[in-house]
Structure 1
Amino acid sequence: MAQIIAIANQKGGVGKTTTTLNLAYSLHNMGLKVLTVDFDSQANLTTCFGVEAPNEIETNIADLMMLMMDEKELPEPKSYVLSHDGVDFIPSSISLSVIDAKLRLEMGAEQMLAGILEPLRDEYDYILIDTCPSLGSLTINALAAADKVIITVNPQLLAMMGLQDFMKTVKKIKKRINTKLEVSGILLTMCDSRTNLCKILKEQVYDEYNKVVPVFKTSIPATIKVGESIYYGMSIQQYSPKATAGIAYREFAKELVAL
C-alpha cells in the first residue's frame, strides 16, 4: 500500500517540483512503483513529464476534483493516469486555479484529493504530491490526503522566513483534519556551500528545527544541471547522471525509504 507524501512549502522557488520529479525517478530506479500528482495550476511538473500543452489534456486533476465536488463517479484511472519513462503521473492545468476558488465554498472541501488518491494506494509504493506555493485550499487538500510531508527549504533568508508559519499550518491540519499526518523531514535544496550565508542558514535550520522535526542528512546542492534538465523535460539523473544534484537525490531517496 502506497505511502502518500506531499512535497510542500508556502514559498515558491524552493525546489518542490524539482524534488518531486527527481525523487520519483530515484525511487523508480530503486524498483519501486511511483505515482506523482501535479497539484499546482502552473502545471510545471506536467511539463517536466514531456506534456507540451497541459491545458489540452482530456482529463487532469482539476477535472477529477470537480467530479468529486459534484459527487460524480470518477473515470477509470487509465483515462487520467499518464506515464513517462516508468513513472506514472496525474497531470494538472490552469483549470486548477478555478478549483482553488470553488473549494472555499465547498462542504468537506479538505477531503477531495484524499477521495481521489485513496483508491490508488494499492497500485503503488509511493504517491508524491507536488503542491502550489501557498497555504490555500489546494495545499490544505494535499496535506489532508498525505501520510507525510517533506518540507523543501532553500537556505536563503527570504525562503527561510515562512518556514515557521508553514510548520504551524501542518500542526493545525494534523490536529483538526488529518491525525496521521507527520513531517518526514526538512530537505535543504539549492545549497551553495561556498557562501557563508548558506552555511549560516543551514546551521540555523538544524539548531531551530532538528529537535522538533527531522532535518534530512542529505541536502541538494545548487547546480546549473538541474535547470538544464528541467528545460529538456528530464530528471537530473537522466540528463546528467554524474551531476552532484543527481547523486544527492539518489542518496535522498535511499534516506527516505530507510525511515
Structure 2
Amino acid sequence: MKEAKVFSLCNQKGGTGKTGVSVNLGVGLVNQGKKVLAVDSDPQGDLTTSLGWRDSEQLNITLATLMKEAIMEEPIHTKEAILHHPEGIDLLPADLELSAMEMSLVTTMSREYVLKRVIQDLKQDYDYILIDTAPSLGMITINALAAADGTIIPVQAQFLSAKGMTELVKTIGKIKRQINPSLEIEGIILTMADVRTNMTKTVAETIREQYGSALKIYRNVIPFAIAAAETSAEGKSIYTHAKGSKVAKAYEAFTKEVLQNAEKQRTQARSAQCR
C-alpha cells in the first residue's frame, strides 16, 4: 500500500524562507505528477495565507480543531478540513487557535504524537506531506518532527542564520533518539541567497565545512528575488507568479533533487527488505 513520505520544514529562526520552500516545493512536486498535502503547523498561519486563504478565522475546521479531536479521542474530521488550491496542492490550514495547543499538549498523554495521529489516515491519499513549522522548538514543532520521516532545513544566506543551526541539529538528534527513531535530516537548503555577494559565498562555505560531512547540503540554492516575496500576497506559487524566472528554475531543480533523494531512499529500503 502506498504511503506518503512526510517532510517537516524546520528552523527555529524566523525569516529563513520555510513557508516559501513549503509552497514552492509542494507545487513543484505537484508539477512532477505527485499528490501533495501541505500542513500549516504555525499559529501565525503564514502557509495558509500564502496559499490564498487570508481570513483563517472564517475557516470552520483547522489543524487546531483536528488536534483537539485527537486529544479528546473523538473522530478526527481530517478530510473535511482539507482545502484545495488551484495549482493542485491540498492544505490543512492553521489559525491562532493553534497557539493554545502548546498549553493543552503539556498535560496530554503521548503529547508528542498528536499531529502524527491527525495525519495518519491521510498518508494513503498522498505521495508527499509537507509540514510547515513555526520559528520555534516548541511542542507543536516537536509534534511535526515526531510525525515526519525527514526534515528539510531552510537556511538564509546570512551568518546568524547559519550560526543558529547547531541547536536545531542537536534538537533533531534528541527527537530521533527519544521520540522518532526514523527521523532523518533530509538536507539543508540555502535560501534568499544573493549569489553576487561574498557574504553568501562565505555562509555557503561555512555550512559545507561544518555540516557537509554529516548532512546533505542541497546542490541548488534559492536566490533572493522580489518576485518570490510577492507570491505570498497573491496566494500563488513562484511557478504561476514568475514562470521561467531564476527563482522558479531554482525551485524546480531543488524539487527534482528532493525527488531523486527520495527515490534513492526507497530503492535502498526495498533492497534492505530483500536481504
TM-score, length-scaled by structure 2: 0.92
SS of the residue corresponding to residue 60 of structure 2 reads coil
SS of the residue corresponding to residue 22 of structure 2 reads helix
Q: Measure the CA separation in 1 of the matches of 2:72 and 2:78.
A: 17
RMSD (Å), alpha carbons: 0.8
Q: Does 1:41 align with 2:33?
A: no
Corresponding residue number in structure 2 for 1:194: 196
Q: Does 1:135 align with 2:133?
A: no
Corresponding residue number in structure 2 for 1:252: 254
Q: Measure the CA separation in 2 of the matches of 1:56 and 1:94.
A: 12
CA 1:207–1:76: 2 relative to 1, 3 Å: closer
The amino acid that maps onto 1:38 is: D
Give percent identity, aligned residues only. Answer: 39
CA deviation after TM superposition for structure 1 residue 105, in Å: 2.3
1:146 to 140, 148, 153: 148
Asked if the contact 2:156/2:192 (under 8 Å) is kept, the reply is: yes
Corresponding residue number in structure 1 for 2:83: 82
Q: Measure the CA separation in 2 of the matches of 1:125 and 1:232.
A: 26
Could you report, residue by residue, the CA deviation over 1:220-249 in whole angstroms, capped at 9, with x for unpaired residues?
A: 000111011111111111101121111111
Q: Measure the CA separation in 2 of the matches of 1:235 and 1:30.
A: 14
List runs of 5+ in structure 2 lacking aligned partners.
262-275
User: Structure 1 stretch 179-188 or stretch 154-163: which is displaced more?
Assistant: 154-163
CA 1:29–1:107: 2 relative to 1, 3 Å: same
Corresponding residue number in structure 2 for 1:155: 157
1:21 to 17, 23, 27: 23
CA deviation after TM superposition for structure 1 residue 67, in Å: 1.0
Q: Measure the CA separation in 1 of the matches of 2:144 and 2:124.
A: 19
Q: Measure the CA separation in 2 of the matches of 1:236 and 1:49.
A: 11
The amino acid that maps onto 1:128 is: L
SS of the residue corresponding to residue 114 of structure 2 reads helix
Q: Measure the CA separation in 2 of the matches of 1:64 and 1:87.
A: 20
Q: Measure the CA separation in 1 of the matches of 2:231 and 2:78.
A: 32
List runs of 5+ in structure 1 lacking aligned partners.
none
| Number of matched pairs | 258
Q: Measure the CA separation in 2 of the matches of 1:55 and 1:253.
A: 32
Could you report, residue by residue, the CA deviation over 1:20-58 in whole angstroms, capped at 9, with x for unpaired residues?
A: 000011000111000000000010111112112101100
CA deviation after TM superposition for structure 1 residue 198, in Å: 1.2
The amino acid that maps onto 2:57 is: N
Runs of 4+ in 1 over 4 A off after TM superposition: none
Q: Measure the CA separation in 1 of the matches of 2:133 and 2:69.
A: 20
SS of the residue corresponding to residue 122 of structure 2 reads helix
Asked if the contact 2:156/2:191 (under 8 Å) is kept, the reply is: yes
CA 1:76–1:14: 2 relative to 1, 3 Å: closer
Q: Does 1:183 align with 2:185?
A: yes
Q: Measure the CA separation in 2 of the matches of 1:205 and 1:160.
A: 7
Corresponding residue number in structure 2 for 1:223: 225
The amino acid that maps onto 1:20 is: S
Could you report, residue by residue, the CA deviation over 1:126-147 in whole angstroms, capped at 9, with x for unpaired residues?
A: 0000000001101100000000
1:212 to 211, 214, 218: 214
Could you report, residue by residue, the CA deviation over 1:69-107 in whole angstroms, capped at 9, with x for unpaired residues?
A: 111111251x11110021111000010000122112222
The amino acid that maps onto 1:23 is: L
SS of the residue corresponding to residue 187 of structure 1 reads strand
TM-score, length-scaled by structure 1: 0.98
Asked if the contact 2:47/2:132 (under 8 Å) is kept, the reply is: yes
Asked if the contact 2:112/2:142 (under 8 Å) is kept, the reply is: yes
1:31 to 27, 30, 33: 33
The amino acid that maps onto 2:155 is: V
Asked if the contact 2:61/2:81 (under 8 Å) is kept, the reply is: yes
SS of the residue corresponding to residue 121 of structure 1 reads coil
